[in-house]
Amino acid sequence: MTNQPTNAPSWVSSFYDRKGQVSGPSGVLDHHRERASAIKRFGGKSQGRVLEIGAGAGGSAVATAELGYRVVAVGLSPVRAGFANDLTRGRADLAIEVLEADFMTVALVDKFDAVTCWNGFGVGTDADQRKLLRRINQHWLAEDGVAILDIFNPVGWSRLAGERSLDEETGLRSALDFDAVENRLLDNWWFDGDTQPPMAQSIRCYSPPDLRLLLEGTGLRLADAEVEGIPLTEVTPGVDGPMASAWGYRVLIIPRLLSVHTLGACAAPRGRATSNSLAVQVHMTGKPCRVKRHRARASRSASVRTVVAEGV
Ligand SMILES: C[S@@+](CC[C@H](N)C(=O)[O-])C[C@H]1O[C@@H](n2cnc3c(N)ncnc32)[C@H](O)[C@@H]1O
């Protein structure tokens, strides 16, 4: 664990700490296990090193380690990093390291076969997100490494704007809003009672074409995307389709220098790329497929030992 200086927006640490305090630890739940299993299913390896950024209370990171991956989990909130550390205590069977650090500045020695960000991409500005994507590509991805990210869907969240909730367990009020100018989800929580101003998390939402534009100049490209487990190339694009209501979709991102190979018993592609579909359609039925790098690079240490140094 470490306390590094952070450039994150000022609301980030305070919001997620407060939310962590009221919600408490999450444990390891079904949706955490689903995320962990998605690494292999959605184009990553079945073993190796995984860097999870924005790891929160650690449920997904522990589920990932339980599958045999060696995991480094990075999160900014001390409260949530504490919950994550609690989950790992006494688990000598797991190779997992929890770092309380800013993923925009943390320096890690090792490279990773997969970088994951579950439900946490979009906290900063577009420039921040581009910087983060470059860090993934230049500093963290090992040879053949992939990034798997959950992306907030602007259409889904804009349709929920105005919805109000009362949490039965905590008695807290919350209200969803959507900044239609900046395309950001605004998730307001009244942590200090109804008479005080709410605290909000503000998450940039990207449509698939917007995400492709964001990736330009980062050295990464969109290789696959799915919503509710279905490739985007196969879903109905209209208002009855899942992209008109889903909170988010999942993307597979790879270095531009990688090409897609079908390995072993990979089946034929389920969909065909069209001018409207993703740049590269690599979603396969059956066994997941790997990506290979055109240009060979020296292989790196397989250790997950992580050293945090000055920001990059
Ligand atoms: C929406 S929550 C998602 C948490 C977790 N991935 C999950 O699905 O439960 C976003 C998480 O990202 C973390 N986070 C935001 N900005 C960060 C940063 N710059 N460095 C590290 N963690 C960050 C927050 O502390 C928070 O736990």
What is the average pLDDT across 215-240?
96
What type of residue sits at position 198? P
Q: 58-110, pLDDT tens digit by residue?
A: 999 999 999 999 999 999 999 999 999 999 999 999 999 999 999 999 999 99
Which residue ranges make up each domain of the chain?
Answer: 11-156+206-310, 159-199
Q: 281-309, pLDDT tens digit by residue?
A: 223 222 333 333 333 232 222 223 333 32
Q: 248-276, pLDDT tens digit by residue?
A: 999 999 999 876 553 323 333 333 332 22
Percent of the chain residues past pLDDT 70, beyond the cut: 81
Cα 103 to middle of ligand 1, angstroms: 9
Query: Does the beta carbon of 281 lie inside 6 Å of ligand 1?
Result: no
**Mean of the per-residue pLDDT values for the chain?**
84
Cα 263 to middle of ligand 1, angstroms: 34
Query: Does the beta carbon of 82 lie inside 6 Å of ligand 1?
Result: no
Q: 30-59, pLDDT tens digit by residue?
A: 999 999 999 999 999 999 999 999 999 999
Which pLDDT belongs to residue 90?
Answer: 95
Which pLDDT belongs to residue 265?
Answer: 31
Query: Does the beta carbon of 74 lie inside 6 Å of ligand 1?
Result: yes
| Cα→Cα distances 248→82, 162, 208, 279, Å | 27, 18, 11, 19
Query: Does the beta carbon of 76 lie inside 6 Å of ligand 1?
Result: yes
Whose alpha carbon is nearest atom 11 of ligand 1?
A: 54
Angstrom distance (rounded) from CA 70 to CA 48 = 6
Whose alpha carbon is nearest atom 1 of ligand 1?
A: 120
CATH fold, domain 11-156+206-310, is Rossmann fold (3.40.50)
Residue 78: Cβ within 10 Å count: 15
Indicate the top mutation candidate among 103, 129, 149 to test ligand 1's pocket, ranked by most ligand atoms within 8 A of CB: 103
Which pLDDT belongs to residue 216?
Answer: 97
Q: Which numbered atom of ligand 1 lies nearest the CA of 56?
A: 27
What is the pairing mode between strands 112-121 and 70-75? unpaired
What φ, ψ does residue 167 adopt, rounded to 5°?
-75, 120
Q: List 258's β-bridge partners, or say none.
A: 293
What type of residue sits at position 270? R
Q: 115-144, pLDDT tens digit by residue?
A: 999 999 999 999 999 999 999 999 999 999
